[in-house]
Chain A
Amino acid sequence: DSGVTQTPKHLITATGQRVTLRCSPRSGDLSVYWYQQSLDQGLQFLIQYYNGEERAKGNILERFSAQQFPDLHSELNLSSLELGDSALYFCASSPGRWWSGNLPEETQYFGPGTRLLVL
């Protein structure tokens, strides 16, 4: 158990719909990352938040958005869903203490994932 929790575990929805995936990071971690794993693309980075602010962006579609709340949990919103959005969505967290001046060790710890099926 990594300490990262994700809900729901499974989600089945229809094309055109909107869903929200939720992630709670490990206690004390300030950074949250979202990844998508589809059969043909492998694990791909989507977006990172640090202490409520967007820090880095990967191959995230404009139909997708995310935010990190003051209590540090994060939500990934997927809208106008298409069949190709069916995938596993993983959240990861890391301490985020790379401003400490020391050589940082930002090991990312992953949650169990949300399996999204768009029909």
Chain B
Amino acid sequence: DAKTTQPPSMDCAEGRAANLPCNHSTISGNEYVYWYRQIHSQGPQYIIHGLKNNETNEMASLIITEDRKSSTLILPHATLRDTAVYYCIVSHYGGSQGNLIFGKGTKLSVKP
């Protein structure tokens, strides 16, 4: 079973920030938080990951709470092309010990 909890769906207005929450209350000290997204039936696309510090890249920002039990993915200016299923995954070393466990994710719908 996935070790994360995400809302099944969210809406966001185009141009606004999309804030996607994820709970991972059983995360252990050496587990990363990874975010991927899947647009329609394309291959999952890596977005960002972090261990304990907040992270930012050209796609998004990742805010991890101090106790590491939850995180938020922020898409600063959502576009229609950001409509996708977003997966929050907790994993040792990014899955180097075998696999990423995908849950059901959050279906984000960006509306004009």
Chain A contacts to B: CB under 8 angstroms:
2, 4, 31, 33, 42-45, 48, 55-58, 88, 90, 92, 94, 96, 98, 103-113, 115
Main DSSP-derived SS at the B contact region: loop
Q: A31-B96, A56-B97, A98-B96 are in contact. Are A107 and B34 (CB under 8 A)?
A: yes
Chain B contacts to A: CB under 8 angstroms:
32, 34, 36, 38, 41-46, 49, 87, 93-104
CB pair B98–A104 under 8 Å, yes or no, is: no
List residues of chain B with CB within 8 A of the CB of A111: 43
CB pair B41–A48 under 8 Å, yes or no, is: no
List residues of chain A with CB within 8 A of the CB of B43: 2, 4, 90, 92, 110-113
The one of B36, B42, B95, B103 that contacts A106, using a Cβ cutoff of 8 Å = B95
Main DSSP-derived SS at the A contact region: strand
CB pair B44–A45 under 8 Å, yes or no, is: no
The one of B38, B100, B101, B103 that contacts A108, using a Cβ cutoff of 8 Å = B100
Q: Counting chain B CB atoms within 10 Å of each CB, which of A56, A110, A113 scores highest?
A: A110
The one of B41, B87, B98, B101 that contacts A115, using a Cβ cutoff of 8 Å = B41
Please give the distance in Å from A93's CB to the nearest CB on chain B: 11
CB pair A42–B94 under 8 Å, yes or no, is: no
